[in-house]
Structure 1
Amino acid sequence: MQSPLLAHTAGTGTDRFALQNPQMLRVSLDGQSKVLARSGAMVAHVGKVAFTSWSPQTGNRRGPRRDAGVLDMMSCSGTGTVYLANLAQHLHVLSLRDERLVVTNSYVLALDTSLAWHTVAIENGDRIAGVGSRCLEFSGTGSLVLMTSGRPLVLPVEPGRYVYGDADAVVGWSSGLEVQLQAQSSNTEAWRRRGTATEGWELAFTGRGHVIVQPSELLPPRRVPRG
């Protein structure tokens, strides 16, 4: 059989996390350490690999408290290669070196077990159901893999200059930034995405750091339960 399709062969390398292509992650397991991945994100694997459900009670308890129910993750262990993806979203590998980053939990695909996280509060975040509980601050040293709907935009934030982003388009931001949820419009008849009054709400950032924004105002669809 001959086809350009056959050129899309598996990549090689020993990096823990590497991009097979912009929309697929390749994870190398060495038989010693585990990685955490979004439940249901495995699309293929090679070698002797085990996938088990993960919870804060059974996982690594070092560092800040890990909030139960905030991340729906599975543990990947063994020796081999695992390929992860989610609805062909664009993937991004971030290396944290004793740093902190705030991310909306829906955009997390995978991470090293060495990282810790906890929920962070947003001023006025309780005005939209779920906004406060969806924002997680990751800390420590290790890799964190994020996914976005399309190629993202990274905006610098400088003191004395506000940066605004749609509440559903913001993926994450530098820890230490001051963040406030505020209304874009007083129009109460605005279209309500996902059954919530999130249209017309934006996040305002000030301080020094960066904001990651995706070219979409919708969160990635949830994994469909198998009935």
Structure 2
Amino acid sequence: MQSPLLDHAALTGDEHFALQNPQMLRVVLDGRTSVLARSGAMVAHTGRVQFTGWAPPTGNGRGRGSRRQQPTALDLMRCTGTGTVYLANLGRHLHILDLRRERLTVTSTYVLALDSTISWQVVGVEGGERIAGVGSYSLELTGTGKLVLMTSGQPLVMRVEPGRYVYADADAVVGWSSGLEVQLQAQSSNTEAWRRRGTATEGWEMAFTGSGVVLVQPSELLAPQRVPVR
């Protein structure tokens, strides 16, 4: 059989986290380390690999909050064993970040995988439970290890400098440097802007100030919807 399709054979190498292609992650397990991945994200694997449900341990600061909250914040499975695991989710573009004790806040929806050495706590943006993109929970991650984020398309990274505000549609924001000051504000006085994706041209935006970066995807979580006023 001959076809350009056959050019997309599995890559080789022993790098722990690597991209098979822009929408697929390749994770090499050596039997000594484990990886946490979004439940259901495995699309293929080789070798002797086990996938088990995972819940954050109590008392160590990882995944702070009640046990009832954690599955909502981030539903993970642990990948262990020896072999190669391929992870993906809805064809989203993937980005590997190497955290070195930095603090990064991300919307949990956009986390695909992370090293088990990374810790997080659930944080909230005031009023964020009313906004589709911000949601009820964001995660402040810290530690040393690899973190893999997902975006719908290639993202935009906006640098925030002291004394200069950066604004982004709340439904398009993926994450930001945790040291930034964040405010939510309506982009319109139209009462429907206070509803989830109302009829205003734009609904909610996030304003960032301080020093750091903001990661924005070229897609809003929900398409604009007309919501009748009642």
Contact 1:101 1:138 in 2 (8 A): yes
Identify the residue that residue 222 of structure 1 maps to in structure 2.
none
Q: Partners in 2 of 1:156 and 1:134 — Cα distance?
A: 23
Identify the residue that residue 203 of structure 2 maps to in structure 1.
200
Q: Partners in 2 of 1:206 and 1:12 — Cα distance?
A: 43
Q: Which sections of structure 1, spanning at least 5 residues, go unmatched?
A: 220-227
Amino acid at match of 1:144: L
Q: Partners in 2 of 1:168 and 1:114 — Cα distance?
A: 29
121-130 or 18-27, larger mean C-alpha shift = 121-130
Q: Partners in 2 of 1:40 and 1:65 — Cα distance?
A: 20
Change over 3 Å in CA distance of 1:61–1:38 after alignment to 2: farther
85-94 or 132-141, larger mean C-alpha shift = 132-141
Q: Per the alignment, in what secondary structure is the counterpart of residue 189 of structure 1?
A: helix
Amino acid at match of 1:36: L
Identify the residue that residue 223 of structure 1 maps to in structure 2.
none
Identify the residue that residue 152 of structure 2 maps to in structure 1.
149
Q: Partners in 2 of 1:137 and 1:215 — Cα distance?
A: 23
Identify the residue that residue 169 of structure 2 maps to in structure 1.
166
- Root-mean-square deviation (CA, aligned residues, Å) is 2.3
Identify the residue that residue 228 of structure 2 maps to in structure 1.
none
Identify the residue that residue 125 of structure 1 maps to in structure 2.
128
Percent identity between the two aligned chains: 73
Q: Partners in 2 of 1:108 and 1:126 — Cα distance?
A: 19
Q: Which sections of structure 2, spanning at least 5 residues, go unmatched?
A: 223-230
Contact 1:123 1:179 in 2 (8 A): no
Change over 3 Å in CA distance of 1:79–1:203 after alignment to 2: same
Q: Partners in 2 of 1:54 and 1:100 — Cα distance?
A: 23
| 1:39 aligned onto 2:39 | yes
Q: Partners in 2 of 1:78 and 1:136 — Cα distance?
A: 27
TM-score calculated relative to the size of structure 1: 0.87
Change over 3 Å in CA distance of 1:151–1:128 after alignment to 2: closer
Identify the residue that residue 50 of structure 1 maps to in structure 2.
50
Identify the residue that residue 217 of structure 1 maps to in structure 2.
220
Q: Per the alignment, in what secondary structure is the counterpart of residue 133 of structure 1?
A: coil
Runs of 4+ in 1 over 6 A off after TM superposition: none
Q: How does 1:170-189 map to 2 (within 5 A)?
A: 170-189=173-192
Q: Partners in 2 of 1:144 and 1:156 — Cα distance?
A: 20
Contact 1:165 1:202 in 2 (8 A): yes
Q: How many residue pairs align between the two structures?
A: 215
Amino acid at match of 1:101: L
Q: Which of the numbers 119, 123, 133 marks the counterpart of 1:116?
A: 119
Amino acid at match of 1:35: V
Q: Which of the numbers 65, 71, 74 marks the counterpart of 2:74?
A: 71
Contact 2:187 2:203 in 1 (8 A): yes
Contact 2:38 2:112 in 1 (8 A): yes
TM-score calculated relative to the size of structure 2: 0.86
